[in-house]
Amino acid sequence: MAARPTFDHELEQLNTDLIRMGALVEEAIEKVVSAFQNEDYQLAKSIVEHDRQINEIEKIIESRSLSLMLRQQPVAGDLRLVSTALKVVTDMERIGDQAADIAELILHIKGPHIYEVVQHIPDMAKNTKQMVHDAIRAFVDRDLELAGEVVRQDDTVDDLFNKVKAEVVKIMKTENAPVDHGIDFLMIAKYLERIGDHAVNICEWLEFRQTGTINQTRLL
């Protein structure tokens, strides 16, 4: 088989692996929001246990990407494709980790349901979940317009995070809630906020893959 067809085949395999990892990450977010909303402790446990699947495919993608760089020495657009994979896989892995972190906190929190106690967390979870879905869809479809919408949506999540912080402080002052509950609530909100940031990163790396620029800076 000639060198270029071989390279194209391996690029296609790399893209397939990225799509598969994106599906696993999106599934983790779907499940953690459901576990969170329904106090489903079995589902929360399964999220923690299945995080290793995301870690395993991350290693496969990293290995394939590095192999392509070393053996094929891609240039220009091909190099952008491979280097983008290495960047995006890191953000997707972190989303999976933070979904598992939230699941562990769900298992830890006892007492009143957080959905009833901290009113802005449901909206934050809903918006973050949508950001991840749209970011992965934009990356797979190479949809820069949708990617731009994800970036703009991050402002909404950041605003909700600030509202959650203010709400938790008020609860701690007026209702004498246990301090560890307040910390857990803030940690869940912070993980959601960070998941939103990683979704933005995926969209920014899509811009780089398509144009060679990121944040209006030409890289390649």
What are the tens digits of pLDDT across the range 91-129? 999 999 999 999 999 888 766 666 667 788 889 999 999
- Mean pLDDT of all residues in 6-35: 90
pTM: 0.90
Paired tokens of 35: 């576990």
Which CATH fold topology does 3-218 show? Methane Monooxygenase Hydroxylase; Chain G, domain 1 (1.20.58)
At residue 31, the 3 state secondary structure works out as: helix
What pLDDT is attached to residue 114? 62
pLDDT band at 1 (very low <50, low <70, confident <90, very high): very low
Under 8 Å between Cβ of 121 and 51: no
State yes or no: pLDDT of 34 exceeds 50: yes
What pLDDT is attached to residue 168? 87
Please report the DSSP string for 104-134 in residue order.
HHHHH--SS-HHHHSTTHHHHHHHHHHHHHH
What pLDDT is attached to residue 48? 93
At residue 50's C-alpha, the angle toward residues 46 and 52, to 5°, is: 150
Q: Which of 16, 83, 25 is nearest to 219 (CA)?
A: 83
Q: What is the mean pLDDT of the chain?
A: 88
SS3 content of the chain, % helix, strand, coil (to 5): 85, 0, 10
Under 8 Å between Cβ of 136 and 22: yes
Q: How far apart are CA 83 and CA 93, in angstroms?
A: 16
